[in-house]
Amino acid sequence: MAESAFDPAGIWRAFARAVQPDVEYWLAQLDAPEQAQSQRLMALLAANRETTFGRQYGFASIASPDQFRERVPMQGAAGYLPWLERASRDAQPVLSAQAPLFFERTSGSTSRQKLIPYTPAFLREMQSAMVVWLADMVRVCPGIAQGRAYWSMSPALQPAGVAPNGIRIGSASDLEYLGGSSAAALAATLLVPPFSGNPATWRYETLRAIIADESLALLSVWSPTFLGSLLRPLFTPEDPSCACELAALEADLPGPRAAALRRALADGHCERLWPRLTAISCWLDGPSHGYAQALRARFPQAQWLPKGLFATEGVVSIPFGEAPDCTLAVGSHYLEFLRDDGHICDVSALAPGDEAQVLMTTGAGLYRYALGDRIRVTGMTARTPRVTFLGRAAASCDLVGEKLDESIVNEALAPARARGATACLVPFQQADAPHYVLLLAGVEEHAVQALRIEAEQRLGHIFHYAHARQLGQLGPLRSRRIPGAQAALGDLLQRAAERTGMRAGDVKPSGLVTRLALAEAMLEMTEA
C-alpha cells in the first residue's frame, strides 16, 4: 500500500463495523455467563468425544458441567504432559478431533516447556476474544487509529521444528493468530520491522524501524520488560553499549528522525519522538506492575491499557471498558476456578473478593487443565466477573526442601517494592551451599543490606525455609544490586531469558525465578 493512500482510521472504522455483531454477541454472553459457559463446554465435548481422551473419559455420555467435573480429573501441567506428548507423537486424534495447524511452545519461564496444539477451533476461540478487545480498545482510545501500530512480533530465538507426527512446531509469525478473523484486516496498519534472520540483530532492527516511523500511534506488547529492554538505549544513553547503538541509529536514520531521536534523548522521554503515540498496551498487574510503573514517565503522552490474561494455553480475560481490570472471556473457553479450600466452582459462583486458580477446557484439547495462574475477582461487568492477575500459583522452587512459591516470595519482597524498587529472588543451585540471591534495582546501595535482612526475616517465618537454614542445608540469602532505575532488572530478566532460548515477547516478570537455566543466566550476567 502506497504511503499516500495509507488510511489507518478508515481501516479501523471498517474493522469496527465488521465486528459489531461479535461485540453484541459478547455483550449478550456477559449477561448470561453460566449459559454461555455451559454451551461452550457441551459443544467441546460433542466435537471431541471420539478422540482418545474423549473415549477414555466418556464424553459421549456427559450431559452437564457437573458430570464433567465428576468424570474428568483436574490436572496440572506436569500431569497433562503425557497427553500433550502423545498428541505430538500420534497420527490419530488424541486430544482434539481436528488436527493441529501447528504446535506452540509454552513460555517455559517456570517449568519444562510443553507443546500446545493450535487447532482451527482453538484459534477461533482466541480470535473471538481478540476482536472484541481490539474493537473496544479503539472505542476507548480512538487516537490509536491515527497512525501505525507496533505489535510485539519478536522472532523465536528457538529453532523451528517438526513434531514426531509431522506437525509444525511454532507459528510462522504472530499474524498467523489472526488468520481468517476480522482482525486480519488490521495487519495493513502494522509496522513490521525487517528481520534479517540473525537473532543477534533483531533488537536493533526493531528499534530502528519504530524510531523511523513518526506516525506510531499504538505500542502493543505483552510484558513491560520486553518494551523496556527494546528501548533501553533511549533510557540509558550513558551506558557504553547503548551509546554505540545510538550512534549507529543516528547514522542509519533519515535526518528528521535522527533529529527527533536527539530531542527525545535531551528530554528524557519519548513525547517528541512519537507525537501521535496514544496508547501502550501491556500487562499492568501482578509482577508486571512495578516494571510498567517504571516506564510510565517515559511516555507522558500515552494512555496505558491493560492486556488481560492471555497465555499460550488460552485466554482467561480481556480488557473491556474503562476499568483497570479485565472481564472473563466466558465465550472463548470453559473456565473453572479452584479456591484455596480445594473447592472448584464455575463462573456463576464467583463474587468480588474471591481468589482462585484458573482451570481451562479449550478447543486445543486441554480439559480441566490447571493453568497455574491465580486471579482475584474485583467487580462485575453485567453478570460476568472482572478479575486481576495475582501471579503464578504453580511457580515454586525447592532446592533442599525449603518449598518456596511465588506468593511467599512476593510477601518477602513487599518492603523492597514499597520503596519503589523492583525485586526478585533467584536460586543459586550450584553454590557450595545452595541459597537464594535477592536482585534489586531502583534502590540506593546503602539500602540493599537492610532490604536483604528484612526479606530473610520474612522468609524465616516459613517453616520449611527456616528448617533448611537451621540444618545448614540452605545458605543465607545474598543480595545483588542492579545499577540503574527500576527497569534495569526487567532488562536483565529479558536478556537472560532470551539467552536461554525463550521467545522475547513471551518473557513474564516474576518475583521468584524457578526455571534453573534462567536463574543461572541471570546470576552469570550479574556476577561482576
Q: Are residues 204 and 288 in the same domain?
A: yes
CB atoms within 10 A of CB 430: 10
Of 389, 385, 382, 383, the closest CA to residue 410 belongs to: 389
Q: Which of 346, 363, 392 is the last residue of a domain?
A: 392
Grid coordinates given for 404:
518456596
Q: Are residues 346 and 274 in the same domain?
A: no
C-alpha to C-alpha distance for 308 and 387, rounded to whole angstroms: 9
Q: Are residues 134 and 248 in the same domain?
A: yes
In three-state secondary structure terms, 97 is: coil
In a domain, 115, yes or no: no
pLDDT value at position 528? 67
Render pLDDT for 396-420 as a digit per residue (tens, 0 to 9): 788 888 888 888 899 999 999 999 8
Place of cell 455467563: 33
CB atoms within 10 A of CB 277: 25
In 271-333, where do the E strands start and end?
A: 279-281, 303-305, 310-311, 314-315, 317-319, 326-328
pLDDT value at position 167? 93
In a domain, 27, yes or no: no
Q: Which of 305, 327, 342 is the last residue of a domain?
A: 305
In three-state secondary structure terms, 20 is: helix
pLDDT value at position 3? 53
pLDDT value at position 16? 95
With contact defined as beta carbons under 8 Å apart, do 44 and 334 qualify? yes
Q: Are residues 198 and 285 in the same domain?
A: yes
Q: Are residues 282 and 138 in the same domain?
A: yes
C-alpha to C-alpha distance for 452 and 419, rounded to whole angstroms: 13
Give the helix/strand (H/E) hosting 344: strand 344-345
In a domain, 321, yes or no: yes
With contact defined as beta carbons under 8 Å apart, do 374 and 316 qualify? no
In three-state secondary structure terms, 117 is: strand
pLDDT value at position 161? 84
Grid coordinates given for 486:
527500576
DSSP letter for 74, please: -
Q: Are residues 435 and 496 in the same domain?
A: yes
Range of 319's domain? 36-108+314-392
C-alpha to C-alpha distance for 239 and 257, rounded to whole angstroms: 22
pLDDT value at position 154? 57
Number of domains in the chain: 3
In three-state secondary structure terms, 202 is: helix
Q: Are residues 60 and 41 in the same domain?
A: yes
Q: Are residues 141 and 282 in the same domain?
A: yes
In a domain, 229, yes or no: yes
In a domain, 179, yes or no: yes
DSSP letter for 215, please: T
In a domain, 450, yes or no: yes
Q: Are residues 291 and 362 in the same domain?
A: no
Q: Are residues 129 and 145 in the same domain?
A: yes
pLDDT value at position 437? 96
Q: Are residues 52 and 75 in the same domain?
A: yes
Grid coordinates given for 176:
498467523
In a domain, 372, yes or no: yes
C-alpha to C-alpha distance for 204 and 502, rounded to whole angstroms: 18
pLDDT value at position 344? 95
Q: Are residues 159 and 288 in the same domain?
A: yes
Render pLDDT for 125-167 as a digit per residue (tens, 0 to 9): 999 999 999 999 999 999 999 999 999 865 555 566 899 999 9
Q: Which of 305, 331, 365 is the last residue of a domain?
A: 305
In a domain, 117, yes or no: no
pLDDT tens for the chain, residues 1 to 528: 445 578 999 999 999 999 999 999 999 999 999 999 999 999 999 999 999 999 999 999 999 999 999 999 999 888 899 999 999 999 999 999 999 999 988 855 444 568 999 999 999 999 999 999 999 999 999 999 999 999 986 555 556 689 999 999 887 666 677 777 888 899 999 998 887 767 678 889 999 999 999 999 999 998 898 898 899 999 989 988 899 999 999 999 999 999 999 999 999 999 999 999 999 999 998 888 888 988 999 999 999 999 999 888 999 999 998 888 999 999 999 999 999 888 999 999 999 999 999 999 999 999 999 998 899 999 999 999 999 998 877 677 888 888 888 888 999 999 999 998 999 999 998 888 899 999 999 999 999 999 999 999 999 998 889 988 987 889 999 999 999 888 899 999 999 988 887 777 778 888 999 888 899 999 999 986
